[in-house]
Every structure is written in structure tokens, then in C-alpha cells.
Structure 1
Amino acid sequence: MPRPSSRWAPRAAGGLLALALVFTIAVTTPWHLIDLPKPDATLDFSTAEIARQNAFRHEMLPWSTTSWVISVVVPLVIGFSPLGRRLYDALRVRPWFLAVPVTVAGIALITNLLTVPTDVLAERVSLKYGLSVENWRLWVWDRGVNWALTSLGVAVIAVVLMALAKRRPQGWWLPGALVAALLVLGVSFAYPVLVEPRFNNFTSMPAGALRSDFLKLADADGVPVQDVLVADASKRTTALNAYVSGFGSTRRLVVYDTLLKDTPPAQIRLVVAHELGHAAEDDVLHGTLIGVLGTAFGVTLLYLLLGARMADPRKVGVFVALVVVATTLASPVQNLVSRKIEARADYHSLRLTNDPRDFVAMQHDLAVRNISGLDPSRWRYWMFASHPTPPERIAMGRAWAAQNSGPVPPLVRR
């Protein structure tokens, strides 16, 4: 453990980072945009649509929840027990800076293999309901790529922190926090060009009225957009989606090819306007900076927990377990902030398009097509919901319409 005299600086820095993180989230998160009516799915979703969503979730949630529990519990059991050290020793890889990545990959592989049965059953449900169209070869490939990238990310940070701890046993927290924060910033910047192409192919949207309309919309919004990219998502799913990733020179606006096939142009326009809202507010950069602060705080806290023991590569299992604990505990806060930011992007799309009727219809159609949860349980909402529920988003559209263009009637006739 660090000497008492060496603990005041990381404690003070950790406290300041925690305050900075809380302050940044509190000040920059759009907590309130407009007074919303109480969400009511029965106003806009038919009995058959609600029943289908409930049936899908009834079949899907046991497997997806079990898989999530396994993915959390297994690294904790390995890391916080002698199993982690035994795994490191059993691999017999030397030197240590090669043994650490192999151990990280081993823990991730064990976890991945143990979740295969429940993930297969969950995928079968998605196939049954037509949400997934992915063949099993591609499904295995995606899991393998995800395992490799996740292992690589965790292993790089582990090796860097252990190397610093070996060099500066009583003061590695400061360079460690700086390096880890820079890695988070770099990965977020490079993600669109290094990671996303591992999963999808991207092409420029063909010239035409729709593309021209999008670029005019971006110009009217004051958001510089050089291109609109189309992802070949249809090889995996029938779900509709669009997103913005990266920042600065790597920022890109991407729409799924599934969105362009059957969706009315007015609704596609609203989806793009939502993504322009993210770009206008620099939401990716904002989230990255919060991640930078959170990572620096996490490394400082890690030093207070492990101190010089971080130099022991046989502690890599403990490190992985602590990463899992941190990400799990941070999820409710991350999702809370994400839901507020997504609501702001919805509000932005309404102001930009002045089309609340199509907005309500679009949110309904997206929810039906994606079989989105209309009324998730409270714990699942806080733990997993990165977006407002479809009824909440429709309530946003109705509230905006009531203030600007007149009421939007329910989609379901009574």
C-alpha cells in the first residue's frame, strides 16, 4: 500500500476530479426542455402492437438478462479469487507485458464462451421475430471481433498502468491518469475510422433529392456536413437507425440502409434532423470529455485501492474485475445523461423541421419496426435505457406541437 504521506495528493486529485465530473454532468446535461404529458402507449400503439412487443420481451429478456449477469459475475469471480492468479501462472507466457494481454484475453474468452448458450437463444428470438437476419457465420465473426477489440482496449491500459507502477511505485497515478485519459480521447476520435469499418461497410449516399435535402437541412442548421454515409446494416438486422460518431475531422453522419428502403422521406428527414442535433451540440465530444474525467478519476481511485501492488502483473485479474465493477456502477449515470441528450436531439429535430405529426408517426413506426420496449421495468430502464422510451419521445412531440402548431391527435382511434 502507498505510504500515508503519498496518499494525500491522489486523494485530493481524486476529490477534485470527482467534483469536476459531477459539476460537468450537472451543468452540461439538459435536464429540462419542455413540460411533458404523461406517456401513454395506448394512445398510439394498437393492442396487437403492444402484445407483440410484450411477447418479444417475454421471450428475449430471460436470455439477455442471464447473459448480462454472466458477463458481470464471471470476471468478478475470476478477478477477486485465486483463479485470476492461477490463470496468469497457468498460461506460462513471458515476459509480463505479453502475459498480461493474454490473461486479459483469456478472461474475456472464458466469459464470452460461457455466454454463448444464452446469446444463441437470444439470437434465435430475434430471428424468430424478424429483427435479426444475420447468418450464424457473421454472428460468430462479430463476437470474435468484439472480443478482440475489447480485450485489446483493456490490455493496453493494464500494461501501461503496470509499466508506470513498476517505474514509479508511489506516484504512478498521475501519469497513469493522464495517459488513460488521452487513450479515451484518442479512441473516441479514431473510432469511426478504425473500429466501425470492422463491422460495416460505408458508402456515400447516392446523389438525389433525399441527399440534397439532407445537406440543405444541415446547412440551414449551421452544421458542416460534407457527406452522408450509408451503412450496410441490412446484412444483420431489419432495425432502423442512424447515428453520429467521432468529432472534429472524424465526425460522420451515418444512416442504416434499412432506414432508406421503406421509410417515408419526411420521417427519414426527422431522423437526420435528430442526428444533426447531436452534431450541433457536439454530443460525442461532450460524452468523450466526461469519459476522460471519469477515466482519470478511476485511475486515481485504482491507485488508492492497489497502490504499488499494481506493478504485480498477477494482479491483472483484479484489474479486470475492477474495470467491470466501475463500468457496471457507472451505467445508470451514463444512461441518465444519454437519455437527456437524446431528448435534446429530439427537441432539436422538432425545431428544425417543424413537423410534429410526422415526428409522432416516425417514433411509432421506429418502435414497431425495432420492437422497442414501451414500458420497461424501473431497474431495466435505469440500467440499460440509453434513450427515452417511444411513449416518452412521442410525448415530447405532442408537448412541442401543443406550444407551436396545435395538438397532434392519437394514432389509435378509440
Structure 2
Amino acid sequence: MVRKWCLRAIAAYFLFGVVMYVYLFFLADTSIPDMYKGTSVDPTTFLNAREMMLSEEYSKIRNLLFFLSSPYEWLFYYLVLIFGVSAAFERWAGQASKWFPLKTAIYLFWLSLASFVFTFPFSYISYVFSRTYNISTQLFPSWMKDELIDFWVSYATMFILVLVLYSLMKKFKKKWWLAAWVLSVPYSIFMMFIQPVVIDPLYNDFYPLKDKQLESKILLLANEADIPAEHVYEVDMSQKTNALNAYVTGVGSNSRIVLWDTTLERLDDEEVLFIMAHEMGHYVEKHIYFGIAGYTLLSFAGLWLTAKWMERWVAKRGTVWKVESITNISSLPVFLLTISILLFAVSPLTNWVSRYQEMRADRYAIEMTQDKDAAVRTFQNLTKAGLSQVNPPYLVKIFRYGHPTMLERIRMMEEFEGDRDEEL
């Protein structure tokens, strides 16, 4: 029976992979509508033939890896359950210690290690393709170091979450999910607060922007938008990637405006200012607060559904999995599997909200800078640096894109006719 269900799961995964491969490589239409050919939206106007070819190849590979990654994670959780591996990990942890926190730490270490080993080939393939297409500039030792940092950071944060979660399960048999939901919001805000000063510096060096003249221009924009920013930070990303990025991170006194050094090297001041105005648009329109509110609602529904599904699955399959109750820590893969499936299922909605907010930030940026040419050049340069598709397939857009497509963003810039002085 176990072997049969295992083979079915693996066959289903490979069948899904074949379907997505055929869709992405043969069926999906990524061409530009005829009405936009020859315009600034058309990639042939700002990419050469080789860049066009590489963009299509890399985007297809990257999109395929994206769609294969979540089901691969689900397959891992299912296999450790059906083969009784999770139960074995709990047994080993129980033999080492009866103290629940230490028992949890030992169990989670074995599960995290198994997950790391199982998913490592997938991560390595992604890294190799990124290097092959010159998106990543990171040497293997540096990449491996980041992977190990990821492992321990994830392990530390997961240990806290799992310890609290299963303590709540033992204390509140039926309403543990509600208690977990109440605690999840302050925990998420706390993580947002420490991210810029504790976690991010583990991966990269952050320092004040070296170009003080550009920093003055950025802070002038921030002052105009009533954003309490005193410094702009630069991060050394050129040793890892050729991609471009900038962002605002953190909350409260730990908020930071951050620019990748690749962005500073490859974009002119006007383009950088447009990007900064975009990030400021998120602050002005209070997108972080809407995000917290949305997370609060979705996590409430998600944890409730997870509790119901966990009880049903463990009651039905627990004997086969050697998991007696959801309060057993060996049920953790059931929890993680359920959460992962729910996150994937709801991603079209969360991505739609994100795309709307990003479009609003784009609108704010063009209204603030009044520099249409710089805005168009920025998106064209972002496309070139990331080898992105201007018009990605529909399924890729709804499941993967938290930003509008480049076709939508450049088109909006070209169609913008506002004049801030006239409006005033």
C-alpha cells in the first residue's frame, strides 16, 4: 500500500511537470500585441537579437522551476509521512531527551536537514542556470555559504514557531489555531522590525550611500513625500548578481531605503530617483499596513482550514504515517504541507493585490518625478538586467508575478499625461 501511494505521488509530480513544460515551452503566447510593435513596449526596440533569445530561454526555464518547486516541496512532506520518517525523527528525539523544547529542537533539526538534502539538487539547478545566463555572478563557495546561512536562520525561526505552535496544541486542543493566529500578527511585525538590522546583514554588507549628491536628491524626494528618512543605504550585491533592485524595508525606527550597488552602477540619477519615488509611493499609500491587515485576515482563514484538514488527515492516515495525534510533533509535515498548499492556492489573489499596489506606486512615482523618459528607460533596463519577459504567459502572471508585467508598466508610463504643476 505504501509503495503504491508513493509511486502515485511521484507519477503525479512528473505528469504535472510534463504538462507545465509543454505549456511554457510550446503553448504559451508571449508575443507582443501588434498594436505595440515598434513602440517602447516592444523588446525588439531595446534588446538585441541575442538578448531576446536569452530572455525567452531563461524566462521559460525559470518559470518551469517555479512551478515545479512547490509540488516538489509537497512531495517531500508526503514521502516523510508515508514512509514513517517523521515518526522516526520524533522517536529519535524522544530517546535523546524528554524535555519538550530540546526534543522539539532535535526533531526539527533532522526534519530540516532532510528537507535541505532533498531540495538541494533543485536549488543547485536554479543556481547553475542563473550562472549560465549571467544573472548570478556568485561563486559556488559564496552561494553555498548563503545556503547554509539560510538553513540556520530558517531553523532558528522555525524552532520558535514550532515550539509555540505545539505548546498551544497541547494546551488548547480545539482552539489552538485561534491562539496561534493571535500570536502570529505581533510575531510578524517583530520579524519585520529586526529584518533590516539582524537578518539582512548576515548575507550582505550595508553602508550609507556613497554618492552624497544622489542621497541629497533622494532625501529631498522623501521630504516632499513627508517620509521621515535620514539615510539611504547601499548594499553590495554586484558580487552575487547582475540584477537590479531597490526597496524600503523594516518598520518604525528600523525603516531603511536600500539600493543595490548594481542599480547605482547601471542606472542614471533620473532612473534611480524614479525607483525611489516608486518605493516612497508604497510608504505614502500605507501599503505595509494594508499588507498587515490582509495577512491578518488570510492567516485567520488559513490556520482554521489547516486545523480542520490536519485533524481529518491524521484521523484518516495517522495509523499509516505512525502519527497518533496532531499534538505529536511528527505531525509537523502535515501542518507544513497544508500551509504550503494553501499559500499556493491563494497566490493568485495575493499577487493580484500586490500588482495593484505596485501599479499605484508606479503612478505615484511618475506623478512625483514627471519624467516619463526616465520611467520607460528604468523598466527597459530592469527587463534587460533580469532577462525578463515583457509579456509573460497568463499562468505565470497570476501565480508568480507580484508586480505588473513590463508591458503593463511601460504602457502606463507612455500613456501618462499628467502634469503636477497644472494639477496644483
Correspondence for 1:386: 402
Shift of 1:102: 3.4
Aligned residues: 368
Say whether 1:179 aligns with 2:183: yes
Correspondence for 1:212: 216
1:362 corresponds, among 373, 378, 395, to: 378
Distance of aligned partners of 1:73 and 1:373 in 2 relative to their CA distance in 1, 3 Å threshold: farther
What residue ranges of structure 1 are gaps of 5+ in the alignment? 1-36, 406-414
Say whether 1:319 aligns with 2:335: yes
Say whether 1:398 aligns with 2:411: no
Q: Distance in 2 between matches of 1:159 and 1:60?
A: 35
Shift of 1:60: 4.3
Q: Distance in 1 between matches of 2:204 and 2:84?
A: 40
Shift of 1:357: 1.4
Checking the alignment, whether the CA contact within 8 Å between 1:104 and 1:317 is kept in structure 2 is: no
Checking the alignment, whether the CA contact within 8 Å between 1:133 and 1:235 is kept in structure 2 is: yes
2:250 corresponds, among 246, 253, 256, to: 246
Correspondence for 1:137: 141
Say whether 1:193 aligns with 2:209: no
- Of 222-231 and 64-73, the range deviating more from structure 2: 64-73
- The letter for the 2-side match of 1:86 is A
- The letter for the 1-side match of 2:337 is A
Checking the alignment, whether the CA contact within 8 Å between 1:267 and 1:362 is kept in structure 2 is: yes
Say whether 1:328 aligns with 2:329: no
2:130 corresponds, among 126, 136, 141, to: 126
Q: Distance in 1 between matches of 2:62 and 2:168?
A: 44
Correspondence for 1:41: 42
Say whether 1:159 aligns with 2:155: no
**TM-score, length of structure 2 as denominator length:** 0.79
Q: Distance in 1 between matches of 2:83 and 2:286?
A: 42
Q: Distance in 2 between matches of 1:119 and 1:161?
A: 28
Deviation string 1:361-411 (CA, Å, 9 cap, x unpaired) is 11101110121222322222222111112111101101214x559xxxxxx
SS of equivalent residue, structure 1 residue 333: helix
Q: Distance in 1 between matches of 2:96 and 2:300?
A: 30
SS of equivalent residue, structure 1 residue 234: coil
Checking the alignment, whether the CA contact within 8 Å between 1:132 and 1:236 is kept in structure 2 is: yes
Shift of 1:43: 6.9
SS of equivalent residue, structure 1 residue 244: strand
**TM-score, length of structure 1 as denominator length:** 0.81
- The letter for the 1-side match of 2:268 is P
Distance of aligned partners of 1:64 and 1:180 in 2 relative to their CA distance in 1, 3 Å threshold: closer
- The letter for the 2-side match of 1:357 is D
Checking the alignment, whether the CA contact within 8 Å between 1:229 and 1:253 is kept in structure 2 is: yes
Correspondence for 2:236: 232
Say whether 1:255 aligns with 2:255: no
Shift of 1:142: 1.2
Distance of aligned partners of 1:175 and 1:120 in 2 relative to their CA distance in 1, 3 Å threshold: closer
SS of equivalent residue, structure 2 residue 416: helix
Q: Distance in 1 between matches of 2:109 and 2:286?
A: 34
SS of equivalent residue, structure 1 residue 239: coil
Distance of aligned partners of 1:306 and 1:262 in 2 relative to their CA distance in 1, 3 Å threshold: closer
Checking the alignment, whether the CA contact within 8 Å between 2:54 and 2:133 is kept in structure 1 is: no
What residue ranges of structure 2 are gaps of 5+ in the alignment? 1-34, 312-323
5 Å-filtered alignment, 1:245-324, equals 245-306=249-310, 309-324=325-340
Correspondence for 1:374: 390
Q: Distance in 2 between matches of 1:125 and 1:306?
A: 37
Say whether 1:115 aligns with 2:106: no
- Of 331-340 and 224-233, the range deviating more from structure 2: 331-340
Distance of aligned partners of 1:387 and 1:72 in 2 relative to their CA distance in 1, 3 Å threshold: farther
Q: Distance in 2 between matches of 1:105 and 1:334?
A: 31
Say whether 1:96 aligns with 2:100: yes
Q: Distance in 2 between matches of 1:137 and 1:374?
A: 33
Distance of aligned partners of 1:327 and 1:58 in 2 relative to their CA distance in 1, 3 Å threshold: closer
- Of 328-337 and 391-400, the range deviating more from structure 2: 328-337
1:53 corresponds, among 55, 70, 73, to: 55
Identical-residue share of aligned pairs (%): 23
Q: Distance in 2 between matches of 1:319 and 1:280?
A: 37
2:73 corresponds, among 48, 71, 82, to: 71
Query: What's the RMSD between the two structures over aligned residues?
Result: 2.6
Deviation string 1:59-115 (CA, Å, 9 cap, x unpaired) is 544555444442332124324663322332244442333333433343333233223
Shift of 1:210: 0.8
Distance of aligned partners of 1:322 and 1:105 in 2 relative to their CA distance in 1, 3 Å threshold: farther
Shift of 1:46: 4.0
Instruction: Give the number of the structure with larger relative contact order, counting CA–CA contacts within 8 Å between residues 6 or more apart.
Output: 1
Q: Distance in 2 between matches of 1:129 and 1:276?
A: 32
